[in-house]
Structure 1
C-alpha cells in the first residue's frame, strides 16, 4: 500500500510545473522579464509626463495643428516644409492673438517641443506593442495577465486620441490655450496608466503563491486608507492640471492668503457660474490649495494609524508618503511665491508622480505584507 502525500509536504515550483514533455520555463523568470519591460514603460511614461509638462510650460502645445499619427512621425526637412507648417500655425488663434510677428526660428523651437512630445508617445506605443507581441508569441505572459497587459496598450491608444482632442480645443474660436478640463483629462489618464503599471510591477515581482500567503497577513484598514489617499491624490492632480491649464499659478503669488484674503474676491466673476470651476484662476487655485491641505491632514491621520501596525514594512511605506507629501507642499508654496517658473512647475509635477506611486506602493504593502523575520535574542 502506498502512502498518501501529506498536505504539509513542500511542493516546489519545479514539481508544480513539470510535464511529461519536460519541465516548463520557470514562471518566476517569465514574471521577471515582464517586470523589466514594464519598468521600461514606466520610465517612458514618466518622461512623457515631464516632456508634456515642459511642452505646456513653453507654450508649444498648439504649434502642430494637425493630427497625423503615422506621417507626423517625420518632421519638416526642407525650407518649404517648414514654411508650410508655419503657415498652418499662423492661421491658428494662438498666433493671431498672442504671437503675431513670431519669426520662423521661434516657431521651430516650439514645434520641436510638440513634435518631440508626440514622437515619444509613438515610441511608447512601439515599446508596448513589441514587448506584448514578444511575450504573447513566446507564451511568456503569466497566466491571467494577457488582458491586463492588453489594457495598457488600449489606454495608450486612447491617450493619443485624448491628446488630440485636447489640442483641438485650442485651435478654434478665440482660445490661445487648450481647454483646461481636457488637459486635466489628458494628465489624469497618464496617471491612471502609471498607476496600473506600478501595481502590475509590484504584483509580478512576487509569485501568485507568495501573494496568496501575504494576503493572509494584510491590514485591511490601512489598505482601504491607502485607497482613500490615492483617490484624494488623484483629484489633487486633476486640480493641478486645471491650474496649469489657465496659468492660475501666476495669478495669486502670495501665501497663505490670496490677494490679501482667505477667499479670492474674483472667485465667482465668470458667467455662467459653472465656468468658474474650470476657468477662474482665483477659484481654481483656491480649490487646489484647499484640497492640498485636506490631503496633508488625511496623510497625517493615516500615518498615525500606520504607526500602530506590527509590520515594519507597512510603517515605513506610509511614513514615506508623509515625507514625500511634505516636500510636495513646500514645492507648491515655493511655486506660488515665485509665480510658477518653469523649473519649479516641472519639479512640482514630478514630485506629484513620486507621491502618487508611493501611495500605490504603500497600499500594496498593506495588502500584501512581506515576511517579517523576528530577530532571535
Structure 2
C-alpha cells in the first residue's frame, strides 16, 4: 500500500515501523473473511482492511475524528486477520500505533474515560480486584447484568500448592484477575508440574503484565509494568529458572511481545528479549513432558475454546487439544473455532453489545457437540463464556489436575 506519512507522523517513535507495515498490505481483503466484527456488522471500516485505511489516513495527516476512534475501538485485537493474511501484515502493532495517535487527538466522552480509568485502577491490582469480587458476590442481585456476568458462578475454594522440591524450576505469572476469579487455576498448574518433576518458584514482586494499561489508552504505563516485571524476574532468571510460565494466554501473548515493545529501550531491550524468549504458555511446557507418567485415565467429554491469544498471537492452535487427547479426554468438534468469543481483555466491558453477540455465537458452536464441560486457556474467555450461565467453563489444567491419581495410587 503506497503511503506518505505526514511530517508530524514521521516524528512518532514508531513511524518507520508503521510505514513498513502499511506498505505490506496489498488490499486483498482476505482478512475480512475471518474478522468477527466485520462478520457481525458488514461494514468495511469494521474490518481489518478498513481500519488499516483509517490508520493510513490519520498518519498521512487527515482529520482524526470520533468516528475513526469508534471503528478502531470496535476491533477485538483477536489477530485472526494475521493468521489469514497472505502478506504477513503485522496488524496488531499497526493498530497499537494508530490507536495511540487517535487517542491523543480525540477526547473520549466522560463515561468512557471513567470506565477505562476505573478498569486501569482496579484490574491490575489483584488484592483490590479480589475484594471487589468477594463484595460483588454478596450484593450480586444489585449489580448491573454486565457486572453480574463477570462474577464466578460458584464460590472460590482455597488453593493448595506443593512445596519447592525439584531441581527443575520455573517462574509463573500469577495474573491480575485470575487469583480473584479462579484461584485454583495456578495452583492446579503447580500441582501438575510438580508431578512432572518441576517446581514453581514464587515471584511475588511481579504485577500486571501491562496489557490492561497498554490497550486502554496508557501504553507508557503498560511498558513501565513490563519493566517492573523484568526486574522482578531477573534474579531468578540469572539463577537458572528455565521458563516463565503463564496459564492465561492473554498475559503470555503480551509478555512474548516485551522484546519487540522494548526493543528501543537502551536499558531493557536485551533483558526484554531474554524474558520473551523464556515466556511459555503452560501447554508449551507440558507437551514436552512424559504425560503418560501422570497415570491419568480420563474420558470426560470436553469442548475446548482456543483463545485468540493462544491460536493467533502465540500460534499454538491445536496444542492444548493434542495434550488433552493424549491424556484420554474426549474432545467434541467446534465449528468456526478461529472466531473470537468476544472477551478480548476489557472489550466485553467497553463494547458489551458486540461482545454478547459474539459470545452467543461462540457458545452455540462450543455446545453443538454436547460437551459436559467447556475448557479454555485464558481467564478472560473463561469468565466471559461462563457468565452466560450455560455449560460450565473452566481452565483445562483444572480438569487435568482433578484427574490425577492420589499420591498413594500414583
Q: TM-score range by the shorter chain?
A: under 0.3
Larger radius of gyration: 1
**Looking at both structures, which has the greater relative contact order when contacts are Cα pairs under 8 Å and sequence separation is at least 6?**
1
Higher strand share: 2
Normalising by structure 2, report the TM-score. 0.26
